[in-house]
Chain A
Amino acid sequence: MIGTVVIGLAAGVIAGLLGVGGGVLFVPGLVLFLGLDQHHAEATSLLAIVPVALVGTYRQDRYGNVHRHDALLLGLLSLAGAAGGVALANALSGTVLRDAFAALMVIVAAQLVHRALRGGEAGKKS
């Protein structure tokens, strides 16, 4: 229970800071601390992401960082993909889905390291 709250808090900080990580921490948190299976953890994570992204967007918009037109376009274009992804997730077994998710986490980690190492010049510019 306390672990879950800590995971939630950490996921929020990471989401605000890096623009990733709500779900990528919610899902393992729900599996490891609350004992949800992979399908339920993923679905529940999606719902938990909504208020986080909403509040994060509101704050970022006040800092003038949100490109509204592109965000709307991206969001709308993603809907078909999202429906397809959910259908695919529900067609896969929990074990396959879990292993794929673990692989995703490692890929996201690698990409973060890449961004961090490359970000010296790019980070300063913004």
Chain B
Amino acid sequence: MAIGTLAGLFSGLFGVGGGSVIVPLLILWLGYDERGATATSLAAIVFIAGFAAAVQGVYGNVDVLDAALVGVPAVAGVLIGTWLQQRLQQRVIALLFAAVLVASAVELVR
């Protein structure tokens, strides 16, 4: 219950799916394994992001064309990602991704 509320607030506020909140909490609080947590998180995100996007649409902030520009290649990407996940050690990728995030954060604020 707390996970859902927190994830929703995060998602709406920051325009992200909420997976960064859901995944660790499913693992820590509900004892999920990594794959079960990421998979279940993705399913919950469908509802969360869909609803939050609709509310943002009411505020007139959604650029549909730009969403397609990143969203369509990302659909191809997620197929590759889920395929890889069944076969790969995730540790290296997680660390690389963390580095990308920190670099982007610096770029964003600069």
A residues near B (Cβ < 8 Å) are: 1, 4-32, 34, 36, 39-57, 59-61, 63, 65-68, 70-90, 98-106, 108-113, 115-117, 119-120, 122-123, 125-126
Contact = CB atoms under 8 A, between A and B. Distances in A.
A94 to B, nearest CB: 11
A42 B77 CA distance: 20
| Residue of B52, B69, B106 with most chain A CB atoms under a 10 A cut-off | B52
A8 B57 contact: no
Interface string B5-34: 111111111111111101110110010111
B110 to A, nearest CB: 10
Contact of A13 (B14, B84, B86): B84
Interface of B: 1, 3-20, 22-24, 26-27, 30, 32-53, 55-57, 59, 61-64, 66-86, 88-95, 97-102, 104-109
Contacts of B104: 25, 28, 32, 105
Contacts of B15: 23, 26-27, 41-46, 89, 101
A89 B49 contact: no
A15 B78 contact: yes
Nearest to A46: B53
B107 A120 contact: no
